[in-house]
């Protein structure tokens, strides 16, 4: 298959397929004239690539996943599973907090132990740290 047909079938731009080829994630065969020639196997690999992107993996990680012989393949998958499980736990905590807030009977959330406990568990971003004021 020509690159344009593959791009259309996957719903990506041609330049994306070229990039994936250039970085060695999915490398198609070449015709004698040098054009990329994708097989059904390449198309399957590209669909797996898209699935891996959908779960948040980077191209270097995906390259490891697609090539069974890669020494860090299992490690890349385990790291992504850990990230997903961490995100899931954070989302579950956030959901519990919001459900509690809906029914919280305190006039100020800062007076509620459950609300302040959750707020204290949320890490501040680097640029969110408040510097102490020098004015009284």
Domain definitions of the chain by residue range: 3-66, 73-122
Contact between 96 and 55 under an 8 Å Cβ cutoff? The reply is no
Q: Give the residue among 53, 70, 58, 10 at the shortest CA–CA distance from 18.
A: 10
pLDDT digits (tens, 9 = 90+) for 78-102: 999 999 999 999 999 889 888 888 8
DSSP label at 35? -
Q: How far apart are CA 119 and CA 107, in angstroms?
A: 17
pTM: 0.72
- Contact at 8 Å (CB) between 106 and 114? no
The CATH code of domain 3-66 reads 1.10.1660.10
Cα 108 to chain centroid distance, Å, stands at 36
Question: Higher pLDDT residue, 23 or 109?
Answer: 23
């Amino acid at each position: 298959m020509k690159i344009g047909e593959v791009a259309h079938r996957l719903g990506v731009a041609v330049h994306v397929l070229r990039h994936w080829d250039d970085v060695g994630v999915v490398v198609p065969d070449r015709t004698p004239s040098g054009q990329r020639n994708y097989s059904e196997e390449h198309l399957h690999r590209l669909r797996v690539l898209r699935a891996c992107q959908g779960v948040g993996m980077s191209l270097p990680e995906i390259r490891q996943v697609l090539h069974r012989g890669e020494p860090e393949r299992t490690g890349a998958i385990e790291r992504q599973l850990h990230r997903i499980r961490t995100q899931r736990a954070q989302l579950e905590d956030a959901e519990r907090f919001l459900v509690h807030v809906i029914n919280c009977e305190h006039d100020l959330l800062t007076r509620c132990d459950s609300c302040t406990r959750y707020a204290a568990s949320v890490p501040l971003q680097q640029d969110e740290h408040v510097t102490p004021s020098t004015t009284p």
